[in-house]
Structure 1
Amino acid sequence: MDEIISAVAGGASPDHVAALRLPESYRGAVVRREDVAMFEGMRSRDKDPRKSLHVQQVPVPEPAAGEALVAVMASSVNYNTVWSAIFEPLPTFGFLQRYARLSADTARHDLPYHVIGSDLAGVVLRTGPGVNRWKPGDRVVAHCLSVELESADGHDDTMLDPEQRIWGFETNFGGLAEMALVKSNQLMPKPAHLTWEEAAAPGLVNSTAYRQLVSRNGAGMKQGDNVLIWGASGGLGSYATQLALAGGATPICVVSSGRKAEICRSMGAEAVIDRTAEGYRFWKDEHTQDPREWKRFGKRIRELTGGEDVDIVFEHPGRETFGASVYVTRKGGTVTTCASTSGYMHEYDNRYLWMSLKRIVGSHFANYREAWEANRLVAKGRIHPTLSKVYALKDTGQAAYDVHRNLHQGKVGVLCLAPEEGLGVTDPELRARHLKAINRFREGQELIP
C-alpha cells in the first residue's frame, strides 16, 4: 500500500501505476453475515453501527470485463451506510446473493462479508478487458449506479434497467475501503480543485438531489419556483439547497437547530424554518397526525414567500413529514421523494392530492447522464462539497453513528489511503476562488456568506 500511496502523491505516470505490484489484501469497512440478527427486537434509532461495522483485511478482487480497480484515497458516509450497518430494511446479503446468480463474474459478490460504501475519490489501478476510456493513474470519482444494460428498458433512462443496483449497497467491494471494484462507466473525472476527501463527498447525494429536483425525471425545477427542502443542511438537503439557488429558485429550508439555520443562510438561503425552535409536531401520537400543525406550517411558509405556496417539496424524511408535505404543496405542485429515513409507511390525506391535482414522484439516485451533469457542476465550482468532518477508515463505525443520530451537518468523510487531509488538489487557482464556500460546513469554521 505504501508504494501505491507514494505513486499517487508523486503523480506517477500511467505506465508506472500499471506496473505497481498489488497487495493480496486490503482493509475495508464490512458488515458480516454472522451478525445480521444482532439488533433483532431493537428500535431503529437504538441500533449502533459501531457494533456492526468492522474494518478488516479482505482479498483484492480481479477486475472483470468492463470493470476497474481503484485505489480509494477517500470516501464518505451516506444513509445507505447506516442502513447496511443496522441491517434495515433488509440485510444486504440478500442483495449480494441475488446479484451472484446473474453471472460467473457477479458470483464473486456473494461473500460472508460485505464491503460497503457508495462514494469514492481515488486513482485507477487496473482495468479489465474492454475498458478504453480510463487508464491506470487517472484521478477519478465514482457514482454509485451499477447496471447491466442488456434490456431495452434501461436505454432511455439507465435507472430503469431491470438489473439496476446501488454499488456498495446492493453490490460488494464498495468505497469505504483502501480499494474498490467498480464498473468503468461509474467513473467520472475528479474535480481538480478539491482534496480527496472533498471530492468524495458529493457523489451519491449530489447526483440524487440533481435528479430529484432538477431533472425532467424528477421535479423539473425552473426559475422562480418555491422549493421546500427538508433537512436543508444535511447530506441531501445541502445539495438541494445549492441546486435551487444556482437554478434561480427560492429554497425554503427546514432544519432542526439554530446552527443548521445559520449554515443555510450562509449558502444564500433567506427563507429558513427551524422546526425545533418553532415547535412543529406533525403527529399527536404514534398513530395520529395533526392537520392543525400542517396548516400552521403552511402559514409559516407563506409568510416567508410573500403569500405563495411551494411548487416543489424535496422529500426524504418520509413518515414523519409526508402528510405535511402533501398538504403544503401548491395546487398542481410536485412532491418528490427519494428516501424514508423516519419510516417507510407514509400517510397523507389524499383529498389534498387528488382534488388539487398534485403529483408524487418517486426518485432514486440518478442515471448516467444526470450523475455526470451533477459532477460537472462540482468540477466547475458551481456546486460545492458540504463536508463537515473527516474520520479515519478505522473509525467508520463512529462516522456512521454520527449520521444515524443526525449529529452531523452536510457530509461526513472517511480517509482511506490518503494519509492526511488536504491532499489531491491540482487546480489551486480555482480552489482559491471558492475556498470559503468549500469550507463552509467544516467544523470550527466561521460561517461566511
Structure 2
Amino acid sequence: MTLAQAVIEGADPEELLRAEVPPVYRAAHIRRDEVGMFGRAPHGTMGVDKDVRRSLHVGEVPMPELAPDEVLVAVMASAINFNTVWSAMFEPIPTFAFLERLGRSDPRHDLDTHVLGSDASGVVVRKGAAVRQWHVGDRVVTSPAYVDSEDPVAHHDSMLAADLRAWGFETNFGGLAEFAVVKATQLLPKPRHLSWEEAACNMLCASTAYRMLVGEHGSRMKQGDVVLLWGATGGLGAYGVQLVRNGGGIPVGVVSSREKAELLRGMGCEYVVDRTEFEHLDDEKAWRRFGAEVRRQVGEDPAIVFEHTGRETFGASVYVAKKGGSVVTCGSSSGFDHAYDNRHLWMKLKRVIGSHGANYQECAEVNRLIALGAIHPTLSRVYPLERAADAARAVQTNEHVGKVGVLCLAPEEDLGIEDHALRERIGEDRLRLFRS
C-alpha cells in the first residue's frame, strides 16, 4: 500500500510509518523556464491578460528531505489565495527570486519548480527529529507564516522576524499538492466538525482578518465600532464580517453585485454598499458620494476601514474613515501604487496600519473560534487538484465568492468530518452558506 493510499483509507500511525515516502509527488507548480512567458507589462494593462491557466501546471515534483523542525503532511485539501495568482502571473516579481534567496541557507527550496499554496488540511505522516508536539497520524491544518524561531523578535511577534516568509509563496513545497512540507510551528489541530475542504480554506484569510481587526497589532476593534469592509464576500472580507459581528462591531460591507449583496445579508450584515454605483473612486467627488452613502445607512463614518484591494480604493478609504479613525491594510489586489489626499490623513488625525498575515498565537486563537463554531468556512466552490489552474483563474478574474477549495488526496467532498453533533447544532445552512 502506498503512503497516499494509507492516508486515504484512514490507516493508523504504525501503518503510515510502514508505508514508504514516495520519491516524487503530484503538485500544482510553476516553472523557472517560463518566467518571461507573459512579457513585462503588468496584468490589467490594455490587452494584457496573464492567464494563470497557461503558467500553473500539475505534475510530478521531487520529494524533499525533512529538516529537524519540519513535518511532512499528506494534504487532503487546499485552497487558492491571491498570492498563488501573483506567483502564477510572475508579479510583482517572479517568486523564484524568493526561492533563490532562501536557497542560500536552505538549498532544498531553490529548484526549477515552485510548488504553490498557502493553505492545507491533512494528516501528519512524518516528522523531523526536533518535533515534539505533533505525531504521525495527527489531523491538522496549516498556518501560513514560515518563521525562524531562533530570531529573538519572533518570540515577541513573529511577523516582525527578519526572515518571515509566506509558506508556498516565498518558500517551496506548498499546500496545492499531495504532500507538503511545513514547520512544526505552522500546525494547528483540524476542527473536527469540518470536512477536509472546509478546514483547508480558512487559516490564511481568517487569521489575517483576525490580526487586522481583533489582535493587539491591528486596529483593535471595540464594541460599537462601524467597520467598512471592501470585498465583503471575498476570501478576506467574509471572515472580517464575521469577526466584526462576533465582536460587537457594526459591519458595512462593500460588494460589486446584487447577488453578493444578498449573500452578505444572509451572513447577517445589515448595511451593504454596492460599489458599482460609484463608477470612479479615484477622485474626491466620488469619495464624498461614497462617504455620504455610508453615513446615510449607518449614521456615522467608519471607525475602521478594512483594506486589501489597494490602488482602486485606497484614496476613498482614507477619506471615509472618521476623524481619529484608522485604515488597516494587508494587501493590494488591484495594484500596489496607491494615491490619496494626505490632508485627510494628517488634518483629521487618521492612521494607516500595515498588517501582514498573523503570528502563531493569533492563528491558534482564530482556529479555536473556528473549532468552536463561532467562525464558519466561506467555501464556495471546490476543484480537483488536476484543475488547480482553473481554480486559480476563478480567483484571478474575481468569478468567485468566499474561498475556492482544491481537493488533493481527498477523493471527494464532505470527508473528514468527526464531530457530527456540533455540525448539526451549527446547521448545514450556515456551514454551506457560500455554496448554496
> Could you tell me the TM-score, scaled by structure 2's length?
0.97
Aligned residue for 2:153, secondary structure, equals: helix
Report whether the alignment pairs 1:176 with 2:180: no
Moved more, 430-439 or 247-256: 430-439
Q: Deviations over 1:217-256 (max 9, x none)?
A: 0111111000000000000001001111111100000000
Q: Could you say which residue in structure 1 is the equivalent of 2:127?
A: 127
Letter in 1 for 2:31: R
1:315 aligns with 2:307: yes
Q: Which residue of 2 aligns with 1:24?
A: 23
Letter in 2 for 1:328: V
Counterpart of 2:375 in structure 1 is 383
Q: What SS does the aligned partner of 2:303 have?
A: strand
What does residue 287 of structure 1 align with? none
Q: 1:390 to 1:61 in 2, by over 3 A?
A: same
Match of 1:109 in 2: 109
Equivalent position amino acid for 1:33 in 2? R
Q: Distance in 2 between matches of 1:302 and 1:122?
A: 45
* More displaced stretch, 402-411 vs 426-435: 426-435
Q: Extract unaligned runs of 5+ from structure 1.
A: 284-289
Q: CA–CA distance in 2 between the matches of 1:322 and 1:35?
A: 33
1:99 aligned partner, one-letter code? L
Within the alignment, does 1:408 sit opposite 2:400 as a pair?
yes
Q: Distance in 1 between matches of 2:373 and 2:8?
A: 24
Report runs of 4+ in structure 1 exceeding 3 Å deviation: 2-11
Q: Give 3-state SS (helix, strand or coil) of 2:323's partner.
A: strand
**Pairwise CA RMSD:** 1.1
Q: How far is the alpha carbon of 1:9 from its aligned partner? A: 4.3
Aligned positions, number: 431
Other-structure match for 2:97: 94
| Counterpart residue number, 1:268 | 268
2:71 to 68, 72, 85: 68
Shift of 1:6: 4.3
The aligned amino acid for 1:313 is: V
In the other structure, the counterpart of 1:292 is 285
Native 8 Å contact 2:8 2:409 kept in 1: no
**Identity over the aligned pairs, expressed in percent?**
57
> What does the per-residue CA deviation read over 1:110-135, in whole Å, with 9 as the maximum and x for residues that have no partner?
00010000000000000011111111
Query: In the TM superposition, what are the counterparts of 1:47-446 in structure 2 within 5 Å?
Result: 47-102=50-105, 106-276=106-276, 278-283=277-282, 290-305=283-298, 307-434=299-426, 435-442=428-435, 445=436
Distance 2:272 2:147 in 1: 38
Structure 2 SS opposite 1:426: coil
Give the Cα–Cα distance (whole angstroms) in 1 for the partners of residues 287 and 4 of structure 2. 53
Q: Could you tell me how far 1:13 is from its partner in structure 2?
A: 2.1
The whole-number CA distance in structure 2 between the counterparts of 1:128 and 1:81 is 27
The CA distance in 2 between the partners of 1:43 and 1:159, in whole Å, is 28
Q: Is the CA contact (8 Å cut-off) linking 1:62 and 1:69 kept in structure 2?
A: no
Which residue identity does 1:266 align to in structure 2? G
In the alignment, residue 408 of structure 2 is paired with which amino acid?
A: C
- Kindly indicate whether the alpha-carbon contact (under 8 Å) linking 1:301 and 1:309 is maintained by their aligned counterparts in 2: yes
Matched letter for residue 34 of structure 1: D
**Deviation for aligned residue 1:263:** 0.9
C-alpha distance in structure 2 between counterparts of 1:161 and 1:123, whole Å: 28
Contact 1:23 1:60 in 2 (8 A): yes
State the Cα deviation string for residues 45-93 of structure 1 (Å, max 9, x = none). Answer: 3110000000010121221111000000000000001000000111000
SS at match of 2:77: strand
* Whole-angstrom CA distance in 1 between matches of 2:107 and 2:295: 54
The separation in 2 between residues aligned to 1:108 and 1:203, in whole angstroms, is 26
